[in-house]
Amino acid sequence: MSDPSGLKSEGGIKGDSFNDDELDLRYLLAILLENRWIIIATTVIGIVLATIYLKLANPIYRADVLIQIEKQSNGLAALGGMQDIFSRRNPFGGADAEIEIFKSRNVISTAVEKLELDVYAAPKYFPLIGGRMAAGFRPQKLDSDLSGAEAEEGRKFAEPFLGFDSYAWGGERINIFSLTVPDSLLDRRLTLRHLGEGQYSIFAGDREILQGRVGETASGGGVSLLVKELEARPGVEFVIVKLNGLRTIRGLQRQIIVEEQGRMSGVLKATLASPNPFLARSILQAVSEEYVRQNVMRLSAEAQNSLNFLREQLPQIKVDLETAEDELSKFRSQSNSVDIGIETKSFLEQLVKIENNISELNLRKEDLAQRFTPEHPSYIAHMAQLEKLKENRSALEKQISTLPDVQQRLLQLVRSVEVKTKLYTQLLARTQELDVVKAGTVGNVRIIDEAAVDASLPISPNRRAVRMLGLVLGFAAGVAFVLLRLFLKRGVESPEQIEALGMPVLASIPFSSEQSAKGAFGVKNVSEKTVLLATEAPGDLSIEALRSLRTSLHFAFIGSEKRVIALTGPSPGVGKSFVTANLGALLAQMGRKVVVVDADMRKGTLHKYGGVSASVGLSGILSGQVDLNGAVQHVSGFDLIARGEVPPNPSELLMGPEFSKLIDRLREEYDEVLIDTPPVLAVADALVVCGTVKTTLMVVRHGLNTLGEVKQSLARLTQGGVDVKGVVLNGVVRTASSYYGNTYYQYEYK
């Protein structure tokens, strides 16, 4: 279709900042600046939510204990040559092994039993707020005129909040001395309800299991319970759970963190985090004390094993000594020999020394055999030393064999007595020394810093970090919301976006404060009359923009005395009626004879701009109920044909011959004919009107109509044979995003 008006541009203009596939960074920043109040609001909400969380969240405290592990010293130096028998074989060999021992079930189970950690008992708090309210409760005295019992109860317990008297609100306590349950009730929640005067009931769900009294063991349903202490208002409920022992131990193994302080320092730091700071301290102290105790017991057990070995040998050695003494005494009596010669005495001393060494090595052999295999280097070296002594003994015995028989026999008996006497004396002394060593055994681990916790400084939640996180998340949520809204429904915000489609923008009509104040914009208005800005506020920015549109139309239709123009839009609320009515008034101010026709017979609002009746108008003309002269109403310098009564078949009326005849007659009688049509995408009426008129302008609402809607509207009109001469961008808001990359000037009347 030809373009005699020359309103269409060749190929259009594509704005660099408004590409369909990418967004300019400065444009995004402008969008965020425009929606700064949304971002500020979400940021404030994030901070408020973070503050609420800090009020409701239970604080977490951390207890810690410091332990030193030293290399094990001999500790048995008094044993002289036998000290290597009892020396510790495995000195400190790294933190990993000790950490595993510290967190072993054997160590932690003792703390679980000592502190009864497998029994959970706590007041039943109202969800979310109950625990925090109870934590903040402080006992207060009531009026002095109350009875003693009432005053005492008032000081101890908080009043129920909103009548929820089964919950604990502050001051309640319970202490369970022992609790046993069948396997079916392990890890199951039981409810203890205080009945008053020290009595209580136990429930599993809705089923009552037993009733009992504080200080007395109660049994029933397989449950045995001894409550040591119970303080609460009658009717308050407590939650008690018998936990699986192994599961409790494993839970503590995961919660207790043990780390070496410095590489190969031998200093371990154990920490435990818990909402109950004093319980965390007690658990760490109990575990560390048990760890030290077991370390001492392991070292003491080694000394005890050596002591048991010596005590087993002493009775036999004593018997052997007594036997040797008897044999020597009998021999001397029989041979009348009371002494030995100098040479024999020399042999005796050498032989006794060798025999003593062999006896000691034999004792060591027994101990080594308990600890090492025959292939162990220590065992092999020991046996080699023993064999060497035996060889020396054999050589000495050959020399002794040259002595007379009496001297040989006497030497043998005296040697046996002296060897056994010395060995017995040594073992007896060393047994006593081992008793002292065992009693004074000190482990190679010690507690440097006892378990401690700062109950005034919780480690979690970190108030500064939580508030900062709330601020960051709130800000991010606001930015995400703005960008998501931008991408999901991105309205047209620049003439360049429309011109990129090859369609010229004839005017950009700004949204002014005058429009908003007087309700003159193209939106629903409850009043019967809508202000016509062209006459009421001629200096308004939007009217100045419409004057530029009037000028564009004037030059576009040079040589044409009669013009018929239809104005349509993609959707309702774009301001077609506003543009049509005010443009008609501006054309009339030029001395042109103008008529404005409201062709939206369904929801037309042009009659409000003149405060005239909508009942007489276009529908009456097309249906033959009224003639043209009877339907025309004069408004602010131009004539107006309202929509008329809403007909049941507006499309059929517009498609009939009467509408074409009406347009031809109006063209003859008026210089300017402006027709306001329904939205293109809403109903088919616009195609009928625009197809009849031929010259069409499309009104697009800034920020409301998406580029896709504009494309679809243009495509639908083109398919219907409608020649769209240009676009009017209406309601442009003066924002950073919409005016980015463009310069706008204001020149008003003084």
Q: What is the 3-state secondary structure (H, E, C) of 10-50?
A: CCCCCCHHHCCCCCCHHHHHHHHHHCHHHHHHHHHHHHHHH
411-426 per-position pLDDT tens digit: 667 767 777 777 778 7
pLDDT at 223 over 60: yes
Q: Are residues 106 and 129 located together in one domain of the fold?
A: yes
Mean pLDDT score, 567-581: 91
241-283 per-position pLDDT tens digit: 999 888 889 999 999 999 998 887 889 999 999 988 998 999 9
Q: Are residues 522 and 409 located together in one domain of the fold?
A: no
- pLDDT tier at 77, thresholds 50, 70, 90: very low
705-749 per-position pLDDT tens digit: 888 899 999 999 999 888 899 999 998 876 555 544 444 444 444
Nearest-angstrom CA–CA distance, 711 and 714: 5
From the list 163, 165, 162, 131, the residue with the least C-alpha distance to 235 is 165
Q: Quick one: pLDDT at residue 16?
A: 40
Mean pLDDT score, 316-324: 76
Q: Are residues 707 and 671 located together in one domain of the fold?
A: yes
Q: Are residues 636 and 582 located together in one domain of the fold?
A: yes
Q: Is 263 helix (H, G, I), strand (E, B) or coil?
A: coil
Q: Quick one: pLDDT at residue 383?
A: 83
Half-sphere exposure of 347 (CA within 13 A, CB side): 24
- pLDDT tier at 384, thresholds 50, 70, 90: confident
Residue 275 counted as domain residue? no
Residue 42 counted as domain residue? yes
DSSP, residue by residue, 628-655: HHHH-EEETTEEEEB--S--S-HHHHHH
Q: Is 111 helix (H, G, I), strand (E, B) or coil?
A: helix
pLDDT at 218 over 80: yes
- pLDDT tier at 302, thresholds 50, 70, 90: low
Residue 650 counted as domain residue? yes
Q: How many domains does the chain have?
A: 4
Q: Are residues 237 and 350 located together in one domain of the fold?
A: no
Instruction: Please tell me which of 29-33, 106-110, 158-162, 324-328 the model is most confident about, judged by mean pLDDT.
Output: 106-110
Q: Are residues 481 and 598 located together in one domain of the fold?
A: no
Q: Quick one: pLDDT at residue 526?
A: 40
pLDDT at 15 over 60: no
- Please tell me the chain's helix, strand, coil percentages from 3-state DSSP, rounded to the nearest 5: 50, 20, 35
Residue 193: alpha-carbon gap to chain centroid:
35
Half-sphere exposure of 629 (CA within 13 A, CB side): 0
With beta carbons less than 8 A apart as the criterion, state whether 556 and 600 touch. no
Here the tokens at position 585 are: 């008034």
Residue 498 counted as domain residue? no
With beta carbons less than 8 A apart as the criterion, state whether 179 and 196 touch. no
620-634 per-position pLDDT tens digit: 999 989 999 889 999
From the list 690, 676, 680, the residue with the least C-alpha distance to 598 is 676
Which of 421, 453, 487 corresponds to the end of one domain?
487
- Please enumerate in sequence order all residues whose Cβ is within 8 A of that of 323, keeping only pairs 6 or more positions apart, or say none: none
Tally of CB atoms within 10 A around 493: 24
With beta carbons less than 8 A apart as the criterion, state whether 112 and 250 touch. no
Q: Quick one: pLDDT at residue 750?
A: 38
Residue 749 counted as domain residue? no
Here the tokens at position 744 are: 């706008």
Instruction: Please tell me which of 42-51, 368-377, 693-702 the model is most confident about, judged by mean pLDDT.
Output: 42-51
Buried/exposed 237-246: b ≥16 CB within 10 Å, e otherwise: bbbbbbbeee
Q: Are residues 85 and 200 located together in one domain of the fold?
A: yes
464-516 per-position pLDDT tens digit: 999 999 999 999 999 999 888 877 767 888 888 899 888 999 999 988 666 55
Query: What 8-state DSSP symbol labels residue 264?
Result: T
DSSP, residue by residue, 202-230: EEETTEEEEEEETTSEEEETTEEEEEEEE
Q: Are residues 205 and 127 located together in one domain of the fold?
A: yes
Residue 224 counted as domain residue? yes
Q: Are residues 77 and 195 located together in one domain of the fold?
A: yes
Q: Quick one: pLDDT at residue 560?
A: 65
- pLDDT tier at 582, thresholds 50, 70, 90: very high
Q: Quick one: pLDDT at residue 566?
A: 94
Nearest-angstrom CA–CA distance, 216 and 204: 20
Q: Which residues, listed in sequence order, are joined to residue 565 by a DSSP beta bridge?
A: 674
Here the tokens at position 23 are: 């967004």
Single-letter amino acid code for the residue at 119:
V
CATH of the domain at 674: 3.40.50.300
CA-to-CA separations, 581 to 389, 531, 588, in angstroms, rounded: 131, 10, 11
Beta strands per DSSP E along 104-163: 119-123
pTM for the full predicted model: 0.53
Q: Quick one: pLDDT at residue 743?
A: 42
pLDDT at 10 over 50: no
Q: Are residues 373 and 477 located together in one domain of the fold?
A: no
Q: Quick one: pLDDT at residue 406?
A: 64
Nearest-angstrom CA–CA distance, 729 and 574: 9
429-438, 606-615, 719-728: segment of lowest average pLDDT: 429-438
Residue 740 counted as domain residue? no
From the list 685, 734, 700, the residue with the least C-alpha distance to 579 is 700
133-153 per-position pLDDT tens digit: 877 777 765 444 445 454 454
Tally of CB atoms within 10 A around 526: 5
Domain with 374, as residue range(s), is 302-442
Average per-residue pLDDT for the chain:
80
Q: Do you find a cis peptide bond into 461, omega within 30 degrees of 0?
A: yes
Going edge to edge, which strands form the sheet with 257-260? 257-260, 267-274, 61-69, 445-453
Q: Is 450 helix (H, G, I), strand (E, B) or coil?
A: strand
From the list 109, 105, 127, the residue with the least C-alpha distance to 118 is 109
- Taking only Cα atoms into account, the Rg of the chain, rounded to an integer number of angstroms, comes to 53
% the chain with pLDDT above 70: 78
Q: Are residues 44 and 92 located together in one domain of the fold?
A: no
% the chain with pLDDT above 90: 31
Give the H/E segment covering residue 231. strand 223-231
Q: Are residues 32 and 99 located together in one domain of the fold?
A: no
Q: Quick one: pLDDT at residue 31?
A: 80
With beta carbons less than 8 A apart as the criterion, state whether 64 and 451 touch. yes
Kindly give the residue spans of alpha helices, DSSP state H, lying in 273-376: 277-335, 342-371
Q: Quick one: pLDDT at residue 480?
A: 93
Q: Quick one: pLDDT at residue 65?
A: 93
520-549 per-position pLDDT tens digit: 444 444 445 678 888 888 888 889 999 999
pLDDT at 329 over 70: yes
Q: Quick one: pLDDT at residue 348?
A: 64
Q: Quick one: pLDDT at residue 736?
A: 53
Single-letter amino acid code for the residue at 573:
G
With beta carbons less than 8 A apart as the criterion, state whether 46 and 251 touch. no
Residue 451 counted as domain residue? no
Give the H/E segment covering residue 176. strand 173-180
pLDDT at 608 over 50: yes
pLDDT at 578 over 60: yes
pLDDT at 80 over 60: no
